[in-house]
Chains A and B, each alone.
Chain A
Amino acid sequence: MFEKTIEKWLRESATFPLPVIADIQRAARTGIYDIRGFGAKRHMPTFDDLVFLGASMSRYPLEGYRERCDTSVTLGTRYAKKPIELKIPITIAGMSFGALSAPAKEALGRGASEVGTSTTTGDGGMTPEERGHSDKLVYQILPSRYGMNPDDLRKADAIEVVVGQGAKPGGGGMLLGQKISKRVAEMRDLPEGIDQRSACRHPDWTGPDDLAIKIQELREITDWEKPVYIKVGATRTYYDTMLAVKAGADVIVVDGMQGGTAATQEVFIEHVGIPTLPAVRLAVQALKEMDMHRKVQLIVSGGIRSGADVAKALALGADAVSIGVAALIALGDNSPEYEEEYRKLGTSAGYYDDYQDGKDPAGISTQSDELAAKFDPIKGGRRLANYLRVLTLETQTLARACGKSHVHNLEPEDLVALTIEASAMAKVPLAGTDWIPGNN
């Protein structure tokens, strides 16, 4: 009787639901904003809001497993003497040694190399483990320039100038003191144990005109061999894409707001940037208007989880996608295997997002030798390779269903939207109609 009364009268506020109340209480208790890893957790329009039309009376499908559906992609054809050839259009996003353990970085290299794709360094420089196990490695140039040196630049297969990332466009990096081990500190030339702030702006250029000259310098140093990517967090994506083309990019990486991070303020993760869905469309629109679509390649990242996401990003005009959080999950992050340890940290498998803490029971987002030793880079690499194969097979399945002999032949015409929002953002018709909001 009493319980029934409670059910009737305890009404949760829509303005102050329990998680909001908990946030206010946490802020009042600690005096510090919440910093965490992972990516945005809020609901937003995603690729799930699009569906493929598939073959029909007027479209001819390809036979699954029998008729070839190619997945190869070449990145950096605009200026680089040595473009990158990948077997699959799914790359591994930049994640730093520091944020991740050395064995985790090694596993990313092993997994990616096994299926013929690339990995990317991160804030903190290039480790021998990473270079040694990555057939194709993209070297990031970030505002901090931690570990930046011309030898590693020349060892890289491509260079990625990071202007921003989806989790925090306009924000710098953060690596909290508990993850600054002796090795990380030495690589970054900073004292052990201090909270490392990575600048939010590059130290030696401001704006696209400067960036064009910066890229010229990088090309000169590497004798114009390597593709130069420009990575931006998705915000003013249409203009950013145009400016990146103008600055001389071979490849543009657009990272939607679902993109992951190792450590960022919660308020930043959830409230800055636009979702990946509109970002890919805006980037493609800009490239097409400049007659640079497919000449400057587009990589899209931020919340890519399945072959369906890959296929939809490609259909909207991306040349490849990039994965970060999904790759970590494939390695073993948030695995139920560690449930007991997650519980001790006050969380649970599937919810763990404290990458900033360095206490990862899976041994991935940590600099503790003890925890890192629990992670097997060979098994982890194998799991990642399996996952990448599944993504590829799923992408091919959808492409064949639409009658495409190459995944790049997928096109917006193959898609419709299930919601008005997704239709407006992706500029594909609402299912069952020929209506695209905003189009006359």
Chain B
Amino acid sequence: MATHNIDLEKTSVRDINQALHELNGTEDRSEWRITNSKGRHAIAVGIDAPLSVNIEGHVGYYCAGMNKHATVTVNGNCGPGVAENMMSGMVRVTGSASQYAGATAHGGLLIIEGDASSRCGISMKGVDIVVNGSVGHMSAFMAQSGRLVICGDAGDALGDSLYEARIYVRGKVVGLGADCIEKPIEDKHRAELKQLLDKAGITDCDAAEFRRYGSARKLYNFNIDNMDAY
């Protein structure tokens, strides 16, 4: 299959997004290679087809936002909000990601091969996120569902006000947020962890090295006895 080559020095972000959207709702599996991204915002957003999009270079805000079905690879670093509100498909970042990576995403898999900044997985709603490096503070804040795997360390207030999302951390955790607790890790958890690491292509981490964190569920209903947590 021929690859569509798009040079963002010659084609606008608007035009490439429009071209990708022309395929929305189809089963088109064509390959797209985008060069000279140069930190531009909103590249490859709103795709709804099983396309393969490779971006050569760094991107700005919201790359692959609201993605459905597509596989988007950023060969570089990402600005804030990569794969925000993703519904399905896969987004891979070979470098590091700024704040809010995978924010509110409902599905699919987000892989960050480097580090992610603060609020990674904020308010996530079903997405799986695998970070090969470390994440910043307030990651998985108000995370509702899905799984966040951190192969490095986690910053302060991890999983603050967490709902039903599951968090796995291999390294150190600076601190847990309100209502987030460490939970026993069982075989079924190690199995799902291994599956996620395999899907992410991470081979140098052993599922046995991780700890599991989740919600204590004490803040699910307002109770004045929990005043200190509010």
Contact = CB atoms under 8 A, between A and B. Distances in A.
Contact of B42 (A204, A205, A217): A217
A149 interface: yes
Nearest to A177: B221
A222 B24 CA distance: 12
Interface string B16-59: 01100100000000000000000001100110100000000000
Given A32-B222, A189-B126, A153 B66 contact: yes
Contacts of B210: none
Chain A contact residues: helix, strand, loop or mixed: loop
Contact of B62 (A190, A203, A214): A214
B85 A224 contact: no
Contacts, number: 106
A199 B142 contact: yes
Given A150-B85, A221-B46, A194 B224 contact: no
Contacts of A189: 106, 125-126, 144-145
A149 B46 CA distance: 10
B68 interface: yes
A205 B85 contact: no
Contact of B123 (A199, A210, A214): A199
A340 B45 CA distance: 54
Interface residues of B, number: 42
Contact of A203 (B17, B45, B122): B122
A205 B119 CA distance: 11
Contacts of A188: 144
Interface string B127-150: 000000000000001101100000
B96 to A, nearest CB: 17
Nearest to B145: A189
B144 A217 contact: no
B65 A203 contact: no
Nearest to A31: B224
Q: How large is the interface on A (under 10, 10 to 19, 20 to 34, 35 or more residues)?
A: 20 to 34
A33 to B, nearest CB: 10
Most buried by A among B61, B103, B221: B61
B163 A150 contact: no
Interface string A185-203: 0001111011101010001
Contacts of A32: 222, 224
Contacts of B221: 177, 193-195
Most buried by B among A145, A151, A190: A145
Contacts of B14: 220, 224
A186 to B, nearest CB: 11
B131 to A, nearest CB: 17
B48 A150 contact: yes
A224 B99 CA distance: 26
Contacts of B62: 204, 213-214, 217
Interface string B59-79: 011100110100000000000
Interface string A126-154: 00000000000000000011001111010
A223 interface: yes
A372 B119 CA distance: 39
Interface of B: 13-14, 17-18, 21, 41-42, 45-46, 48, 60-62, 65-66, 68, 80-81, 84-85, 87, 99-100, 103-104, 106, 119, 122-123, 125-126, 141-142, 144-145, 161, 163-164, 220-222, 224
11 contacts: A30-B224, A32-B224, A145-B125, A150-B85, A189-B126, A199-B123, A204-B122, A213-B42, A216-B41, A221-B17, A221-B65
